[in-house]
Amino acid sequence: MMMMKRHLLKLPHLRTRLANLHSLLFSPYGTTSCAKLPEEQNPVSNMLIDSFGRQHTYLRISLTERCNLRCQYCMPAEGVSLTPNSNILSHAELLRLAGLFVSSGVDKIRLTGGEPTVRKDIEDICLQLSNLKGLKTLAITTNGITLARKLPKLKECGLSAVNISLDTLVPAKFEFLTRRKGHERVMDSINAAIHLGYNPVKVLPVNCVVMRGFNDDEICNFVELTREKPINVRFIEFMPFDGNVWNVKKLVPYAEMLDIVATHYTGLKRLQDHPTDTAKNFRIDDYLGTVSFITSMTEHFCAGCNRLRLLADGNFKVCLFGPSEVSLRDPLRQGADDHELAEIIGSAVKRKKASHAGMFDIAKTANRPMIHIGG
């Protein structure tokens, strides 16, 4: 353990350029992700308030465990065992649970997977979710492989925000990482989203998981995408999940990534974050888009967390990195009414911890592969 920590402290660049980075790392806006929502926000049910007073108004719903890519940080090379279809939430069950969450105060839902666009009824799901009274944002996180042709209809069905995952701008590296072809189709999906009007930077993030020795040399190339495209490139610290062979040596920490960007772009400015933002947000003078960093490992944002997760198999998870789950599918199928389901949800939310255990403990804790949890 101590050797791993000493290694982290010796990562390149961490002890250089600290003076230049100080104003960016510790600006007045540098810690707003840990702030609480102001009291004038819409009140939410006690079901969604944990023992630390955090209001959970954001629900991530995994529609499927299936995916048309095999990303190395998401699943092991041999693949994963999938839940039988009979144990996956049905269309009606998913909408029943989503309706309960929204009526209790959730105002944002994100559809994940697996790859959510492979679910055949996704258009109808979007249409019915978008009509839930009180839901303000319906978003999706997708690998973009089939999005370009599906997005026009999804937008008609109420999809209001899109996150596209892309970890390299080099087609050969894309094929190595994902074990599939498709880089050009992802780029086509980014351009299609912009064309369809998903162009305010907060509704079209491009997510990039940065891994040392693989794509850390492309950070500035990704930043260049924001020069002419109204997108939000988000650099994500590499996180440990079952089967992805996480190693601290592969982690490129926030401070190092920020150093790389700040060295090449003198016009980099810190933006003010929303209290529940997972990202630290920046803009470069005269660029159309923005750049962000998701610092789950080195500077967690647990104090401002407002997120809950409903997995494709109906399990409910209050923390991405916590192993605890509770089934909502089983009581639902046993005839539980909304009050009984709310009791189960509320009890799980109340058990949510103040923060995750830290990256070294997370790496040792049994958790499901990311494809089971939902990205």
How far apart are alpha carbons 77 and 91 in whole angstroms?
30
Report the range of poorest mean pLDDT among 17-26, 61-70, 124-133, 226-235.
17-26
Give me 168's structure tokens: 């390299």
Q: How many residues does the chain have?
A: 375
293-302 pLDDT per residue, tens: 999 888 877 8
147-190 pLDDT per residue, tens: 999 999 999 999 999 999 999 999 999 999 898 899 999 999 99
Answer yes or no: are the C-beta atoms of 147 and 193 closer than 8 Å. yes
Mean pLDDT of the chain: 85
Helix (H) or strand (E) holding 97: helix 91-103
